[in-house]
Amino acid sequence: MMPTLKINTAVTRGATFAAWIAALCLLGMMGITCLDVVLRFFRHPIPGAYETVGFLGALMVAFALADTTLKGGHIAVEFLVEKLSSRTRKWIDRITTLVLVLLFGLLTLRMGGYALDLKEAAEVSMTLKVPVWPVVTGLCAGMGLFVAVLATRLR
């Protein structure tokens, strides 16, 4: 088996696993929101529900990026590009992908550093007082996987 095929397979499996994590985050958001609405009716809201839903929403987006990119699920506005030749479109796609790899690669590195800073500072959330660094680390992992998917498309 060629190394490139192994890398593509590993990235695809990682993206699929991340999509399942994103689905669990969405399920958690729905569950917490529904339960909070019902409990508010009985004057017992869930403390930190808004904070938890915010964390889960951010994680859901980060973990869904890679699989969505693999499946071509992003919206695309191509009314100008579709009028160009296939060769030109291919080059525009490569350049765009390279820019995204550089941008999100840098963002992933900076976010990883920020997660380490948050851990060192023992930063906690406002309501629940839970450490914030694991959430930022999860965001970093999701974005890193997104960069890996983009990098496999550069060939």
Q: What is the pLDDT of residues 57-116, one digit of tens each?
A: 999 999 999 999 999 887 777 777 788 888 988 898 899 999 999 999 999 999 999 999
Determine the pLDDT at residue 83: 83
Structural domain boundaries, residue 70? 3-152
Determine the pLDDT at residue 2: 58
For 43, the 3-state DSSP assignment is coil
Q: pLDDT at residue 1 above 60?
A: no
> 124 - beta bridge partners?
131
Alpha helices in the chain (DSSP H): 3-41, 49-70, 86-121, 133-152
Determine the pLDDT at residue 6: 85
Q: pLDDT at residue 13 above 80?
A: yes
Domain total in the chain: 1
DSSP state letter for 73 = -
> Tens of pLDDT along 37-68?
999 999 999 999 999 999 999 999 999 999 99
DSSP state letter for 83 = G
Tell me how crowded residue 147 is: count the other CB atoms within 10 A of its CB: 22
What value does the mean pLDDT take over residues 118-133? 96
